[in-house]
Chains A and B, each alone.
Chain A
Amino acid sequence: MEVIQLIIGGLANGCIYGLVALGFVMIYKSSEGVNFAQGDMMMLGAFIALGLGNADELGLPFWLAVPLAIAIMFGVGWGVERVVVRKLFGQPQFALVILTIALGFVFRFVAGSIWGYSPLVLETPFAGRNLGGGGLVISLADLVAIVVTLVLTLVLWLFFARTKVGLAAQAASQNQMAAYIVGVPVMRINSLTWGLAGAVATVAGVLYATRGAIDPNIGLLGIKAFAAAVIGGLGSLPGALIGGLIIGVVEPLAGRYIPGELSKMSPYIIMLVVLVTRPGGLFAQMHAKKV
């Protein structure tokens, strides 16, 4: 029973990693670059939802505050692409890496200067509600995290695999010149993807916040999520989710059965093993491709 309980908590955690990993994959799929501010966008999204929804802040109803926060973070992602990322067009990928690391710091300081550095709790309708049965206790927040993540992954996967815009984004990531001449507005598509990455990050942030307190440093979770994305293959949306779930489940199990510091290394050990045995990730779509 204890194991099952650990696995359920781990799956819910893994969903959050998976959602942040989805953000990595989306940006990678459309611009072949890695957005290292993805975790911090998650953090900022959570704080914006808190700022809009909590009673001692703006006090909007939860079901209004969350969509609004998602919309705002869509705008932030869109704006980041329009104002900053686009300027790097044609520069080496390295420039984007440094830029997004810097952006992450900026987001952290912005959140810190508005909301401070001590942990805050997002007021949600799920707080403290549990579903029980057969000796198991599943918190409503965990269940919501799992369901929302599965639905969102499916929708995003369909978006990239089937829709005109999603296919255009994939085309643009492979060859911008070729994308232009078949009629893909490459710049607009990039802005849209960054906007979507901001929106997905916010969903992840809100789910994170329903399960515990938040502070401006929770964005560092992005590093684990990046490991999840790499395990999944960096180009595969379902892969990102599965990578996240693997890390999410292994963490609590390792914490329970493996001594101390070694258990904390478990996500990265998995990443190393996957990279050594399957360099393209578990769901490699980019065959023999240099990353």
Chain B
Amino acid sequence: MSLLDVENLAIHFGGVKAVDGVSFSVDPGEVFAIIGPNGAGKSTIFNLISRIYEPTHGTIRFDGQDITGFKAHDIARLGIARTFQNIELFDHSTVLDNLLMGRHTHRATNFVQDILFLPKVRREERAHRERVEEVIEFLELEAYRKKRIEGLPYGVRKVVEIGRALAIGPKLILLDEPASGLSVEETQDVAYWIEDMRRDMGLTVLMVEHDMSLVTQVSDRVLAVANGRPLAMGTAAEVQADPGVQAAYLGTGAAA
């Protein structure tokens, strides 16, 4: 059974059909990439899955459950984490606090216990800190632990965002253009991390990406979209060879 099932998904902003009848399903443990030209509706699909946008029609099922009616703050609890194309971090806080905030839905202590800082609270905090330290070690963020986000270079901030998503402890991680703005070396790191997420952490990865070398390297299947509509699905090579996809990227004139 697939982990994520998107069926006939559509969202219309006024007359603009940003996403228009997209269906796909992602299997557990799979790395699935969505590609397409700018404005194709890739990030919009992410915003629909993470419940920031309300679809005009269609359904989203996660782990066998229809989540189309869920709210944006319910998604983390279900086990879906994401990053943003434009990086959304808690800018005035440290890297450590950003990652700890990823543990929010796992906090089980109540108000009074928290205020009194009971042993139970301290035990729980230590456990969260250990989880976060694993993430810090995995992403090699040790040097930035106590640094505030607003002073960090772009590339590091992108990694912190991946870290916060991992700290949530998700089953499915959505990466929105994880390689954009990164150097070749940094992109290679991202490729290794995605492979480790799948192999060592048992994660399912859904990503939007422009960098075809990254897509080819890590993804099992690729969905190409243009103008909100699906164009082709298959392996990276199959999709790249698709005449419709080439036309969408190069313009119809080139395909003719």
Contact = CB atoms under 8 A, between A and B. Distances in A.
Interface of A: 155, 158-159, 162-168, 171, 174-175, 177-178, 180-186, 285-289
Given A158-B115, A162-B117, A164-B114, A182 B89 contact: no
B13 interface: no
**6 nearest CB pairs, A to B:** A183-B76, A183-B105, A163-B114, A180-B72, A174-B90, A178-B88
A155 B114 CA distance: 11
Given A174-B90, A175-B88, A182-B104, A165 B111 contact: yes
Contacts, number: 78
Nearest to B87: A178
Contacts of B164: 178, 182
Main secondary structure of the interface of B (DSSP, over half): mixed
A174 B92 CA distance: 7
A268 to B, nearest CB: 28
Main secondary structure of the interface of A (DSSP, over half): helix
A155 B92 contact: no
Nearest to B89: A178
Nearest to B121: A162
B103 to A, nearest CB: 8
Contact of A181 (B75, B91, B107, B121): B75
A227 B168 CA distance: 40
Contacts of A177: 52, 84, 88
Contacts of B84: 177
Interface string B210-247: 00000000000000000000000000000000000000
A261 B101 CA distance: 50
Given A174-B91, A186-B73, 5 more contacts: A168-B104, A174-B92, A180-B52, A183-B75, A183-B104
Nearest to B112: A163
Contacts of B168: 182-183
Contacts of B77: 183
B43 interface: no
Interface string B45-69: 0000010100000000000000000
B90 A178 contact: yes
Which residue of A164, A168, A186, A287 has the most chain B CB atoms within 10 A of its CB atom? A164
Given A181-B50, A181-B75, A181-B81, A171 B90 contact: yes
Which residue of A158, A165, A178, A288 has the most chain B CB atoms within 10 A of its CB atom? A178
B93 interface: yes
Contacts of A183: 73-77, 104-105, 168
A286 B74 CA distance: 29
Given A183-B75, A184-B73, A171 B101 contact: yes
B41 interface: no
A174 B114 CA distance: 22
B152 to A, nearest CB: 13
A181 B105 contact: no
Contacts of A287: 92, 148, 150
Given A180-B52, A182-B101, A184-B104, A175 B73 contact: no
B239 to A, nearest CB: 28
Contacts of A289: 92
B115 A182 contact: no
A288 B151 CA distance: 11
Contacts of A178: 88-90, 101, 164
